[in-house]
A and B are shown apart, each in its own frame.
Chain A
Amino acid sequence: MEVADSLFVVMLTLSAMIFSVVPFAFILWYALHLVLSPRLDPLLFKDPYFTRSEQVSYQCFPLSFLKSGNYVYLLVAPSLAKKRRFKGLSEPVPVGRVMRIVCVVQLSLMCLGSLVGILWFLLMGYAAFVVLL
């Protein structure tokens, strides 16, 4: 099989994986944003966890999704999140087990999508600079 044929097949495969994973991950992210923001903003969206400029910029789309993304990160990997952003957080986060499982699914899909995305860019870069030029 020619290199271009193989490239094309891999490109189609990666494209299919991205289309099947990433939109679902973003839809889940949106749903989590709607649920977690009202619940956790009073507890977490303040000093010292978010700087003043973040408290202004993260109020509206699209940066507000970074805020809810950090909440998901806290629920999935609390020890890592507390080392990075939520230092000194000792209060329990009022989120149930089901929601935590959904957060794990969402972040896993995002990580999987990122991995496939990186492979896609490696493929495109290889195609652009090695095969097509």
Chain B
Amino acid sequence: MPYQLLAYEVQPGDSADQIINRYYGPVSQLRKAEIKDKIASLNPHLSSVTALPPGQLIMLATPKQYCAVPANFERIIEAEAAPGKHPWFHQLNDEWRSMDRAERDLAYHVSPYMAGAGAASLAMMNTTFRTNAPLVGEIASLYESYRSGDLSKGQYDYRRRVALRTLSEKLGPTQSLLYGGRPPGEVIRINRQSGVSSTATIDREMRRMTGLAKTASRGGIALSVVGLGVACHDIASAATRQEKNEILVQSGGSITSGLAYAVVSGVALLLIATPVGWVGALTIGLGGAIVSYGGGAVARKIYDRNGSQIDFVEKLGVDHVCSSASRNESYSATESIISGRATFMR
């Protein structure tokens, strides 16, 4: 039986009775007490279900037709309330608690589009959300501009409304397919089939978003390391000394560009442009990767035009190191094949 998981922000004036009436329909007092127990089991972070403070985020399991709660629905909620089953909600709740009103407002508007990219049940909707991801990023960066003082409150509100209206127009009927008319407070709503762990996708999206900044900023370093390993293999495999030197110069130029970008952006962030959120870190990290690639390519062309007067590969002993490394890889592969055969034959 399909149902929905909902991350709901308690609105001013909300009570547990009103929330239950809204999502489960008019039920008897006994049934209401049972549902309250189930809400408490889904939300162990709540001290009391009867006194819900405004702004508190709670998770609800709601039937798709909320005026028609089936008899066995409590068993579904019990299954959902298993400990550790919804890391995405706990992560969202942790972030939510640290946000101020403006941040929650932004997250409320943006989260369905971000969550929709992972939780959409149709490939067409998934593609639609993903192609509009840059607009979502623009909305997030507007907020950061406001927080850093580049935009006034009025400018931020106006531009955010324009961006959200644009996003809504671009998404068109897809958002109504997923969410219909979204009432205030419904931060994220996820369709679920009984017995299917469809929140795995939103778990992944949440982890991906928080991990993106780390990954992007490490991208410059990782690319350099990967580049060095690949370059060594390419140098060993290159047919001519000219080609070996070009590869080495390109790698060196790429690393130099990456280092230069890192130090310039570091100083710029400290002296000029703070605060920096995950959108900023992602942009900086991706910029580093692009700059590294471009710097390496230009360095190679300069060396090529220069006429390759200097044999760096021989002077630095790179040829010997990379050739040895390449041979060692072959030896290791051969040894493992030989030892594997010996084991088999025993």
Interfacial residues, chain A to chain B (CB-CB below 8 A) = 2, 4-5, 7-8, 11, 14-15, 18-19, 22-23, 25-26, 29, 50-57, 60-63, 65-66, 69-70, 72-73, 85, 110-111, 113-114, 116-118, 120-121, 124, 127-128, 131-132
Whole-angstrom distance from the CB of B229 to the nearest CB of chain A? Answer: 19
Contacts A73-B270, A124-B294 given; indicate if A18 touches B260 (C-beta within 8 A).
yes
19 further A-B pairs in the complex, CB-CB below 8 A; given A69-B269, A127-B302, A131-B302: A7-B302, A8-B302, A8-B303, A15-B253, A18-B259, A25-B263, A26-B263, A57-B278, A62-B214, A110-B263, A110-B266, A113-B260, A113-B264, A113-B267, A114-B266, A114-B267, A120-B257, A124-B298, A132-B305
Q: How many A-B residue pairs have CB under 8 A?
A: 129
Interface segment out of the listed B27-35, B98-106, B334-342: B98-106
Inter-chain contacts of A110 with B (CB < 8 A): 263, 266-267
Looking across the interface, which residue of chain B has its beta carbon closest to that of A70?
Answer: B270
The complex places the Cα of A132 from the Cα of B294 at a distance, in Å, of 13
| Interface check B261, CB cutoff 8 A | yes
Interfacial residues, chain B to chain A (CB-CB below 8 A) = 95, 98-100, 103, 147, 213-214, 217-218, 252-253, 256-257, 259-264, 266-271, 274-278, 281, 291, 294-295, 298-299, 301-303, 305-307
Inter-chain contacts of B299 with A (CB < 8 A): 11, 124
The complex places the Cα of A51 from the Cα of B301 at a distance, in Å, of 46
The complex places the Cα of A112 from the Cα of B297 at a distance, in Å, of 25
Inter-chain contacts of A69 with B (CB < 8 A): 266, 269-270
| Residue from A15, A55, A131 whose CB has the most chain B CB atoms within 10 Å | A15
Inter-chain contacts of A57 with B (CB < 8 A): 213, 275-278, 281
